[in-house]
Amino acid sequence: MPSALHALRGVVAAASVAFLATTVGCAPQPEGDTAAKPTGSAAAASCAPGKLATKTSGKLTVATDEPAYAPWFKDGKPADGQGFESAVAYAVAQRLGYGKDAVVWQSVPFNKAFAPGEKTFDFDINQVSISAERKKAVDFSSGYYDVRQAVVALKGGKAAKAASIADLKGLKLGAQVGTTSLEYIDDVVHPAQEPAAFAKNDQAKSALKNGQVDAIVVDLPTAFYITSAEVTDAKIVGQFENQGAAPEQFGLVLDKGSALTGCVTTAVDSLRKDGTLAKLEKQWLSDAVDAPVLK
């Protein structure tokens, strides 16, 4: 997910373009340690900087949804390098040997990004959670962000005082369709009422403001942005604990069996190892604070 942490300041730090050839390295439900294991057939792929087998020679095509929401992007402009995911995309591109002028952005709906079928992009970055089910149709890089799901409600609403999962069961909850957020409602809350599924988070936010739902579930960074900048009479009720042994992670989405999967995963791993991901997280998601855990 389409579907904490919403500071919108700064620009992408330049990353090293030096990159070594690799063997295999490489939104919704985390299953076991699937988030930690990249997939793909890139064992023999050449990761020579700037010379990958991309959709367009000499270019790297990166996809995300439209509109592109903060704090992942800024002002709906993925190509400007502003926002956490835009910054991550350009950092990965540089590790692969592609400068900013060689990155081409493409609009792809959230659910289409990980649906079966050949992709028109080299990788998609759009808060897509890595899961075993999704890996049947696409490849993922290793995770670039560890995420939790959170509940947002109007301050004076029925859900505002919920302190446990049990307190949520009798409420009307909503989330974007196809996301981990919606799955958490079904699989963790088990509400008495059928949850509302929305095509976009904008629709979910409108339903919350209009009283059509008591609360919505989104990832924690989005929850902090919603409550600080979009629905200011709302609050974060709490966050869910991660389900399973491994944390839920967002990963870059690639074609099933893509020759780029190993190269992209190695780039992500190097950004995590040298602290670049942590630096970008602090830069763009630094307004996040701890939210109470719902048990």
pLDDT value at 6 more than 70: no
Strands 249-255 and 138-146, bridge-based pairing: antiparallel
Position of tokens 């307190």?
167
DSSP 37-57: ---SS-TT----TT-S--SST
Asked whether the beta carbons of 173 and 207 are under 8 A apart, the reply is no
pLDDT value at 144 more than 80: yes
Mean pLDDT of 227-247: 90
pLDDT value at 8 more than 70: no
Alpha carbon distance 97, 86 (integer Å): 17
Residue 171 has which token pair? 């409420």
Burial of 156 (0-12, 13-18, 19+ CB in 10 A): exposed
pLDDT value at 274 more than 50: yes
Mean pLDDT of 105-114: 96
Mean pLDDT of 212-240: 95
Asked whether the beta carbons of 277 and 1 are under 8 A apart, the reply is no
Helix (H, G, I), strand (E, B) or coil at 278: helix
Q: Which long-range contacts (CB under 8 A, 24 or more apart) does 131-134 make?
A: 131/28, 131/29, 131/30, 131/31, 131/34, 131/35, 131/180, 132/31, 132/32, 132/34, 133/29, 133/31, 134/28
- Bin 281: left if φ > 0, else alpha if -120 < ψ < 50, else beta: alpha
pLDDT value at 35 more than 60: no
Mean pLDDT of 57-71: 95
Asked whether the beta carbons of 43 and 259 are under 8 A apart, the reply is no
Residue 141 has which token pair? 């890089």
For the chain, percent of residues with pLDDT exceeding 70: 83
Q: How confident is the model at residue 180 (pLDDT cuts 50, 70, 90)?
A: very high
pTM of the model: 0.78
Residue type present at position 284: W
Identify which of 292, 221, 213, 214 has the alpha carbon closest to the alpha carbon of residue 250: 221
Q: Residue 64 is inside which H or E element, if any?
A: strand 60-64
Q: Which long-range contacts (CB under 8 A, 24 or more apart) does 194-197 make?
A: 196/172
Residue type present at position 254: L
At 289 the pLDDT is: 55
The model's pLDDT over 182-211, given as tens digits with 9 standing for 90+, comes to 999 999 999 999 999 999 999 999 999 999
Alpha carbon distance 53, 55 (integer Å): 7
Mean pLDDT of 238-246: 84
- Backbone angles phi and psi of 9, in degrees to 5: -135, 155
pLDDT value at 286 more than 80: no
Number of CB atoms found within 10 A of residue 90's CB: 26
The model's pLDDT over 76-101, given as tens digits with 9 standing for 90+, comes to 999 999 999 999 999 999 999 999 99
Burial of 22 (0-12, 13-18, 19+ CB in 10 A): buried
Q: Residue 111 is inside which H or E element, if any?
A: helix 110-113
At 2 the pLDDT is: 45
Alpha carbon distance 276, 281 (integer Å): 8
At 288 the pLDDT is: 58
pLDDT value at 119 more than 70: yes
Q: How confident is the model at residue 30 (pLDDT cuts 50, 70, 90)?
A: very low
The β-bridge partners of 145 are 250
Q: How confident is the model at residue 42 (pLDDT cuts 50, 70, 90)?
A: very low
First to last CA, the chain: 22
pLDDT value at 268 more than 50: yes
Q: Which of 7-16, 106-115, 139-148, 214-223 is predicted least confidently? A: 7-16
